[in-house]
Each structure stands twice: as structure tokens, then as C-alpha cells.
Structure 1
Amino acid sequence: MQESMIELVVALERFRGDSSVRTYAHRIVLRTTARELAKRRATRAHIELVAEIDREGQGGDPERALSDRRAMTRFYEALSALSEKRRNAFVLCAIEKLAHDEAAAIEGVSVETLRARLKHARADLERVLADDPLLGTYVAGGER
């Protein structure tokens, strides 16, 4: 919130009046939030997924825990290989579990554009992870 307010104060001198101040401020807040989410989302998703793997592996088979960690490494490598637009769509919808309209607002695109990016991201990930049934199932998860 503080970052958004700072950005708003700095940006007000560039305000041309092409829209309402409210719309202008809303876009600044969305962009500031999107930048912050971009910094945090990969780290948070990684921490949550690794914690889930650790919980499953506690008291269990160490070989399975190692296999799960390797699968997650493959997943993050495949995710990193996507274009930023496709990766953002996938992370926002599949990992962050945001609705398409919320994710589209964060990305500043139409819902149709976001859905297309998400579809292409899933296809790219499925192609790369086709030999991994666990990850392929996760990636192929249904549309929200």
C-alpha cells in the first residue's frame, strides 16, 4: 500500500486528465501490486510446494521425497522457460488461484487475452513435462 501511495504521488504530476483521477490511481495501484506480486509469487509458490512435499515426505520414503523434489525442480525449470506473459498468466490462475478477471486486471489485458495466454502456457508446460505423469496432471488442471 505504501509503495502504491508513493507511486501515486510521484505520478500525479504526469496526470494529463485523459481519465478520472480514480481510474488513474486504480491503474497505478494495479501496476504496483503486479510488480510486487511478480517479486513474491515464485518464491511463495516454491516455498508452499516444497513445504507440501516435505510434509508428505515426513516419516515416509526418502527416495520418494527426493523424486518429488526433482519433479518440482523440473517444473520450475519449465515454468522459467515460458515467456513472461504466459508464465504470469499460469502463476496467477493455476498457482495463485485468482479468477480470470482478477488476473486480467493485474496484467492489464482482456479476459480473453489472459485465457489465451493461460491456454498456451499449459500447452507449453504439458509438452515439456509430458513424460512426467504427476506434473502433467498438475499442469493440465481445469480452467477456472
Structure 2
Amino acid sequence: MTESQLVFRRARLADLPAIVAMLADDALGAAREDASVPLNPSYTAAFGAIQQDPNQFLAVVEQDAQVVGCLQLSFIPGLSRLGLWRGQIESVRIASSYRGAGLGRAMFEWAIEQCRAQGCGLVQLTTDRARPDARRFYESLGFTASHDGMKLNL
């Protein structure tokens, strides 16, 4: 897949149904997302909050004018490491019919460059232990499992 075929851009409200459908299109997402139409209003509210936060970038990837991937970038200021900014990559999804064609690698290269452009000195992500293929993919991009992540559902 060549990047010239791809268009990376900030998500628009009209993209939200496609984004939610991608989030729900795997075993883990199917259990925690609601891809019914009309969309659950919580997605629209979250989209509005993301759009208003200058440290958030919800991106979509288009090929042939069709949304085929998405991810969220968070730019996080911090005091540790001499005030280092971090780029957090989350909610990476690729439409099922486009998987395995190099789109994920192109999306990460683009996202990492966005983090550099924002002055981040580190890029981080979390991945579910139930996704060993995703972990291998991230390692192939140079990510290392240097920390253990923990979550608390509220």
C-alpha cells in the first residue's frame, strides 16, 4: 500500500458511524461497543469533547474516499523526564476488508510523525493481552514492552 493512496485527516461528525463500526468489529469491541444506528448519544458527546480538546486528535484514514481506518492521538504534557511530552496512540482500527495490506504500518508512521511535530519525545500505547498479533505488530514498529499497564473500571 502506498501512502499516496491514503488521506489522513481529522475526523468529522459524519465519520462517527464508520468509526464506531470499526471499534465494534472484533471480538473485544463487539462486547463493549454499540454500533447500532442511530448512534448511542454517548459517542456524539465523546466526539464533541475530543474535538474541543487541543491535545486530542481523532484521525481517520481514507482510501478512495472511504473511511478505512481510525486512531486517536493524545498529546500529554508531563513533568517527568524534564517536562517531556508524550504521544498516546489509542483506538487503532482498520476496516476488516483492508486488514493485512500495510495500512496499519502506514497509519502508525503517520501518527508517530504527528507526535514528533507536536514536540513529543516519546510515543506510547496500550494493547490488550488478548491481542498477541497486535503486540507483535507494535514490536515490529520498534515499540518495547517496558512497562506494565493497569486499569480500573469505574
What TM-score do the two structures reach when normalised by structure 1? 0.32
What TM-score do the two structures reach when normalised by structure 2? 0.31
Query: Which of the pair has more CA radius of gyration?
Result: 1
